[in-house]
Structure 1
Amino acid sequence: MRVGLTGGIASGKSTVSAILRELGAVVIDADQLARDVVAPGMDGLRQVVEAFGPEVLTADGQMDRPKVGSIVFADPEKRQVLEGIIWPLVGARTAALVDAAGPDALIVHDIPLLVETGQAPLYDAVIVVDVPRELQVERMLRDRGMTEPDALARIDAQATREERLAVATYVIENTGTLEDLRHRVTEVFKQLL
């Protein structure tokens, strides 16, 4: 079974992903793959530097993710350029991981932009990790050290809460404790099996 997992920034999707992995799902993390394809020495990083200039590199040759983020989240056209570089490379890596997982695996595709990229219909089920906008902002300010304008720009660059909920097969509300979250994720995991 192929499952899509998504949620807005600072929703706790990564925590849900980790719990699903602990429960035995094969989790394919699109964000991690997106980091991998722009690692030093990778063709993806070369393409990003060609598109945005050498100032998007750190002193040690890594992609400066906060700098690139501030550029692309402020300009939808530049965001499309970045996505046009990264997502085809991620797609190729994803296909290889799916092939390696085997036919009986519960494969969970952790995809932050699942709704934005129109991928919901590709999955047997879609899990949406949901939190109110105010909690997203609070977490981004507290946990990521962002300014409120940066936090709001990133939220506004993603699908709305309503758009995500519209494609959900399962909703995991993440406004309580970690124990509450673990309980709900376990419930959903058992239903998927």
Structure 2
Amino acid sequence: MQIKKKYHFLVWLFIPLFLVSYFCFDLIWEKTWFFAIPLMGFLGMASIAFFILCITAKYKPGIFVGISVIAIIATTEIANSELFKSEKVLAATLMDDMSAIRLSLRENHTFEMVNSNIASEQVFTGNYKLNGNKIIFLDKHFDNDFIPDTLAILENKIVFQFNKDGMPDTSFARYFDIDKNRIKQIPNL
């Protein structure tokens, strides 16, 4: 089976477009979330169809492009997985009505703070240090001042603020629930 010359253009169009949209998915989702899934679905299905067409027609350049895209995506996913990251020593979650913030502290003194809501997700990474039961963020950890630079670990919570009597403020959406804590013994205040 011979791929017609006019389809060569489509192979070279759809497969690279799918790769570009894969790497820009967060931006597409943030700007036009209602358009992101149909776009990725269309480009993904078209890329798969043209890749299969290239395989059946033994069109070597198209097969090479398809395998290259698969290898690039697989390598990216493996590199971003937990496989190559330092082990988590603390994981905590702050839930409110419409969003969630997940905090992960790692052994190598890096953190990840993921702010997600129904339509988007922001990831902040950087360095932190511990001072007693306090977590001090050394890098920008949020896009506003909702979460301060210093947090306090108290039993199974990470608290933002204390009231005038020195008691932790555990009102709605004012603390993280600790899911995992492997930090060595932390003294309480």
Fold equivalence (TM over 0.5): no
With CA pairs under 8 Å and 6+ residues apart, which has the higher RCO, 1 or 2? 1
Q: Which has the larger radius of gyration?
A: 2
* TM interval, short-chain normalised: under 0.3
Structure showing the higher helix proportion among its residues: 1
Structure showing the higher strand proportion among its residues: 2
Q: TM-score, normalised by structure 2?
A: 0.24
